[in-house]
């Protein structure tokens, strides 16, 4: 249960301040992430039993996850960001005072005076005051509409101002926090600028090549980035509110909201005022045991300058300092804090960015191995020592291998460096496994947890409970999952101990119609009452949608709880493109279309200025629609008889066909009719992954049916059914399931196959991977589907019949509901205003996204590997 933040006065109403307590007292000043970790480390070492612990917290709420601060704009509440709860505080007898900052302390008398006037005696004082945002000393920096980006209260203020008074925002600073802030402004519907004084974004974490890849991707999302220039002045209007910015390159920006996120500084003023030693560039100086120049005073986290002369601004070193200080106070064995790994993995505006080790190649004689593909926004660089050892690296756009590469730092990798930088699926993540890592490799950087420590556990909940691995930034979770024994936790995620297959059966048998009900009744104990996670929400949403007619789960994909469970594209029933526009894909069953319908598509494309492309699935994509245009476009398409093509969903996409017997002299069956029948039968069918199909009218296979999830090839005697094929990065040839089927037999087996797949596949598992994973493989699937070995054939057919009977077009239903239509706006605070960042330029008599080319200088060719 989160700690309440609306307590009267500044004193926590459930502390033990009034109780006589003659134990030695520890006073902790600051209750951020590092302060909370100190309390946990103190409890683990028995200090809460031997000492009285008093915490003075300046903010009006207890410790929360500042790393995930931006997730507030994605729907997480302040309570969900909380890092502690009432039970922990009460169980350990901690006296927590929120909203009551420490004003001063007396080192001789060993007392601390809080803002409320209360005085606390201490035997040991721990300073965890963190850092404060640096605001450049420019004219107008205190104007109305200027903010910093550091606390939940800052976010609440930004949100309120943006909705009431702003349409354009600018962020001063293009580092980690600056891009987080830019993502928040973009999420609030503001046209967003980023101003960075350095020549590239994230100059601390990435090099020129990585910065260029990041810049290309972010400008493609609609952000306007200004690098190599600073802020000279904030321009204000007569009312004292922000109206623009003057930059050092002479240009001006029109903006009505400014967020300063130009770095942080150690919050060491309290220590300075009371004579503690402070570093020349800031930070309270501490020794290896985190003691300050006063042996009774410790400093941890961003306010401290470690014994190596550095101030660490990441959470992992702060946690290590917290544990060091707790061990020193408890007088237990401690290695001491002499420095920390600055490796980090982030997701900024949906873009993976990671760096580790000697990322900038400072070591003498080192060499770079680089892979760059500006088309996909991917940049990878590994820094290799003269002896072949991996020294560090930078990953932008594809950081899938981070969890495996970082622990190999300082060793000679088991594979050539050129192979380690290849794209996901072909590089380190595919070629290396966790088995390649030594037992001493640190898997969780936040909590310094090794591979051996994780291997000692049998499930993810046990790993989190015993080692805290996976509870920090979360970048290690994938590798942790690979390290755990298969006989351990096979649950869908941390919220559910059941597999997807088991949850499917629970939903079907108990007719559970909501995610909330399933989580509360069948989630893990720690998950009940929570909000779930990004893994199980779309998976459960898919299960409920697949079973909706059978379990009585009515409702539209955009209604109520269901809307919150969907993957990103489902929110607007359209595919989001790289410049922030959307594509429109009407269904064209079997690829057959009348001239009148072709004319309607042409008129819509012409009237809305859309780019048109005939796809490999025999449909026509219309690209470049703004979100507020989608309902207007679909009104015309629905009126002409079109319906949603489900290009945005994990559902049936297309059933492709050749012209078949009707026109082709080689055709032996009517492939067009069969393709149309199958597409109309399975349209809207939600599944663990997308489904593609094709029907070929003869063995010449013009429709490429053997590369589909289910494909049909005509024979002189009927139809052959193939299953489990796919194209893509790892193509798989489909397997023959049954042959010479009549129409009714073909449909019956496809019904059974699809419902058996939906019933037993894992989340996001294609039919090809499912067929290779499932026990018994193709033979087992054939026994179940063709020979009905489990006696469930009729049940599977009934489930499909329910789907077919209750199918409704999602776009037609959306257009009939004003509440659903209300979501289709670019800006919630200005519904009629189009997004000015969605721009296009002409190309080949059509349009393409306006994504400015970058002058990247000398760099490897796109898609090349350069030593």
Q: How far apart are CA 530 and CA 526, in angstroms?
A: 8
Q: What are phi and psi of 557, to 5 degrees?
A: -65, -20
Neighbours of 556 (CB within 10 A): 16
Q: How far apart are CA 344 and CA 598, in angstroms?
A: 51
Q: How far apart are CA 445 and CA 606, in angstroms?
A: 54
Distance of CA 316 to the CA centre of its chain: 20
Q: Is 698 annotated as a binding residue?
A: yes
Residue 718: beta bridge partners? Answer: 715
| Tokens of residue 27, six digits | 């006073």
Q: What are phi and psi of 114, to 5 degrees?
A: -90, 170
Q: What are phi and psi of 430, to 5 degrees?
A: -90, -40
Burial readout 154-186 (b: 16 or more C-beta within 10 A, e: otherwise): bbeebeebbeeebbbbbbbbbbbbbbbbbbbbb
Q: How far apart are CA 773 and CA 770, in angstroms?
A: 5
Q: What are phi and psi of 622, to 5 degrees?
A: -115, 110
Burial readout 857-867 (b: 16 or more C-beta within 10 A, e: otherwise): eebbeeeebee
Asked whether the beta carbons of 755 and 796 are under 8 A apart, the reply is yes
Q: How far apart are CA 35 and CA 41, in angstroms?
A: 10
Q: How far apart are CA 489 and CA 500, in angstroms?
A: 13
Label residue 281 exposed, middle or buried (CB < 10 Å: 0-12, 13-18, 19+). exposed
Q: Is 457 annotated as a binding residue?
A: no
| Tokens of residue 41, six digits | 């480390």
What single-letter DSSP state applies at residue 344? Answer: E
Torsion-angle region of residue 327: left (phi > 0), alpha (psi -120 to 50) or beta?
Answer: alpha
Asked whether the beta carbons of 826 and 582 are under 8 A apart, the reply is no
Asked whether the beta carbons of 583 and 625 are under 8 A apart, the reply is yes
Q: How far apart are CA 795 and CA 547, in angstroms?
A: 12
Which residues are CB-contacts of 167 (< 8 A; sequence separation ≥ 6)? 190, 191, 256, 827, 829, 830, 833
Please name the residue that has the structure tokens 């933040």.
5
Q: How far apart are CA 228 and CA 249, in angstroms?
A: 8
Asked whether the beta carbons of 334 and 328 are under 8 A apart, the reply is yes
Please name the residue that has the structure tokens 């507030």.
72
Q: How far apart are CA 45 and CA 40, in angstroms?
A: 9
End-to-end Cα separation, the chain, in angstroms: 53
Asked whether the beta carbons of 260 and 136 are under 8 A apart, the reply is yes
Smallest Cα–Cα separation from 405: which of 474, 397, 414? 414
Element spanning 695, H or E? strand 691-696
Q: Is 536 annotated as a binding residue?
A: no
| Tokens of residue 588, six digits | 């064209």
Q: Is 29 helix (H, G, I), strand (E, B) or coil?
A: strand
| Tokens of residue 336, six digits | 């001491």
Asked whether the beta carbons of 866 and 370 are under 8 A apart, the reply is yes
| Tokens of residue 632, six digits | 């207007």
Asked whether the beta carbons of 201 and 194 are under 8 A apart, the reply is yes
Q: Is 228 helix (H, G, I), strand (E, B) or coil?
A: coil
| Residues across the chain | 867
Q: Is 664 annotated as a binding residue?
A: yes
Asked whether the beta carbons of 659 and 667 are under 8 A apart, the reply is yes
Smallest Cα–Cα separation from 244: which of 163, 174, 146? 146
Annotated binding-site residues read 658, 664, 698, 702
Q: Which residues are annotated as a binding site for siroheme?
A: 702
Residues at the binding site for [4Fe-4S] cluster are: 658, 664, 698, 702
């Amino acid at each position: 249960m989160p700690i309440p933040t609306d307590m009267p006065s500044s004193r926590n109403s459930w502390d033990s301040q009034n109780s006589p307590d003659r134990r030695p007292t520890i006073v902790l000043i600051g209750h951020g992430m590092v302060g909370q970790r100190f309390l946990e480390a103190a409890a683990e070492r028995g200090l809460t039993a031997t000492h009285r612990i008093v915490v003075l917290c300046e903010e009006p709420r207890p410790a929360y996850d500042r790393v995930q601060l931006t997730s507030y704009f994605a729907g997480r509440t302040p309570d969900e960001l909380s890092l502690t709860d009432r039970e922990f505080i009460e169980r350990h007898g901690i006296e927590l005072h929120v909203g009551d900052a420490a004003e001063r302390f007396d080192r001789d008398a060993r007392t601390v005076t809080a803002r409320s006037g209360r005085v606390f005696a201490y035997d040991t004082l721990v300073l965890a005051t963190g850092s404060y945002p640096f605001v450049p000393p420019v004219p107008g920096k205190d104007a109305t509409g200027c903010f910093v980006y550091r606390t939940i209260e800052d976010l609440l203020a930004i949100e309120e101002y943006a909705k009431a008074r702003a349409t354009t925002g600018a962020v001063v600073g293009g580092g980690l926090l600056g891009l987080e802030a830019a993502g928040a402004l973009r999420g609030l519907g503001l046209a967003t600028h980023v101003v960075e004084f350095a020549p590239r974004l994230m100059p601390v974490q990435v090099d020129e090549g990585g910065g260029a890849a990041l810049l290309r991707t972010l400008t493609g999302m609609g952000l306007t980035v200004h690098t190599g220039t600073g802020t000279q002045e904030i321009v204000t209007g007569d009312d004292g509110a922000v109206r623009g910015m003057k930059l050092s390159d002479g240009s001006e920006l029109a903006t009505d909201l400014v967020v300063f996120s130009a770095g942080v500084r150690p919050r060491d003023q309290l220590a300075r005022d009371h004579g503690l030693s402070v570093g020349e560039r800031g930070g309270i100086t501490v020794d290896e045991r985190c003691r300050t120049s006063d042996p009774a005073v410790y400093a941890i986290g961003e306010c401290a300058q470690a014994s190596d002369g550095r101030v660490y601004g990441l959470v992992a070193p702060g946690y290590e300092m917290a544990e060091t200080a707790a061990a020193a106070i408890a007088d237990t064995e401690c290695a001491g804090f002499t420095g920390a790994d600055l490796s980090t993995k982030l997701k900024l505006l949906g873009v993976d960015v990671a760096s580790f080790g000697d990322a900038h190649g400072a070591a003498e004689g080192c060499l770079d191995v680089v892979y760059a593909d500006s088309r996909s926004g991917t940049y990878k660089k590994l820094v290799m020592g003269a002896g072949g050892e991996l020294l560090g690296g930078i990953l932008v756009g594809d950081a899938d291998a981070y969890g495996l590469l970082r622990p190999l730092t300082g060793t000679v990798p088991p594979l050539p460096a050129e192979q380690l930088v290849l794209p996901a699926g072909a590089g380190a993540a595919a070629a290396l496994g966790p088995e390649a890592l030594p037992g001493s490799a640190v898997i969780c950087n936040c909590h310094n947890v090794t591979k051996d420590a994780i291997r000692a556990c049998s499930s993810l909940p046990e790993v989190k409970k015993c080692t805290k691995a996976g509870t920090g930034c979360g970048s290690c979770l994938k590798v942790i999952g690979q390290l755990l024994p298969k006989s351990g936790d096979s649950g869908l995620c941390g919220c559910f101990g059941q597999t997807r297959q088991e949850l499917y059966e629970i939903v079907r048998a108990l007719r559970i119609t909501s995610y909330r009900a399933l989580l509360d009744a069948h989630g893990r104990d720690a998950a009940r009452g929570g909000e779930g996670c990004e893994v199980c929400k779309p998976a459960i949403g898919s299960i409920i949608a697949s079973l909706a007619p059978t379990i009585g789960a009515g409702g539209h994909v955009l209604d109520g709880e269901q809307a919150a469970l969907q993957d990103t594209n489902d929110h607007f029933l359209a595919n989001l493109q790289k410049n922030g526009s959307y594509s429109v894909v009407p269904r064209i069953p079997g690829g057959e279309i009348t001239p009148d319908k072709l004319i309607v598509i042409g008129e819509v494309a012409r009237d809305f200025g859309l780019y048109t492309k005939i796809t490999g699935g025999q449909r026509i994509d219309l690209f470049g629609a703004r979100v507020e245009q989608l309902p207007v476009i679909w009104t015309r398409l629905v009126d002409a008889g079109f319906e949603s093509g489900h290009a945005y969903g994990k559902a049936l996409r297309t059933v492709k066909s050749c012209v078949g017997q009707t026109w082709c002299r080689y055709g032996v069956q009517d492939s067009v009719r069969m393709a149309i029948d199958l597409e109309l039968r399975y349209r809207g069918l939600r599944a663990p992954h997308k489904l593609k199909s094709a029907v070929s009218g003869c063995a010449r296979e013009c429709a490429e049916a053997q590369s589909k999830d289910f494909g049909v090839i005509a024979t002189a005697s009927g139809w052959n059914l193939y299953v489990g094929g796919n194209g893509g990065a790892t193509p798989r040839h489909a397997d023959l399931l049954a042959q010479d089927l009549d129409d009714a037999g073909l449909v019956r087996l496809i019904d059974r196959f699809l419902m058996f797949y939906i019933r037993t596949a894992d989340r996001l598992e294609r039919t090809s991977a499912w067929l290779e994973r499932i026990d018994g493989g193709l033979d087992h699937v054939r026994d179940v589907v063709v020979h009905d070995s489990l006696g469930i054939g009729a049940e599977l057919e009934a489930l499909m019949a329910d789907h077919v009977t209750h199918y409704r077009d999602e776009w037609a239903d959306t257009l009939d509901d004003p509440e659903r239509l209300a979501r289709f706006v670019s800006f919630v605070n200005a519904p009629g205003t189009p997004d000015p960042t969605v721009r296009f330029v002409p190309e080949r008599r059509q349009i393409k996204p306006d994504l400015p080319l970058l002058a990247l200088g000398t760099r490897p060719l796109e898609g090349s590997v350069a030593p």
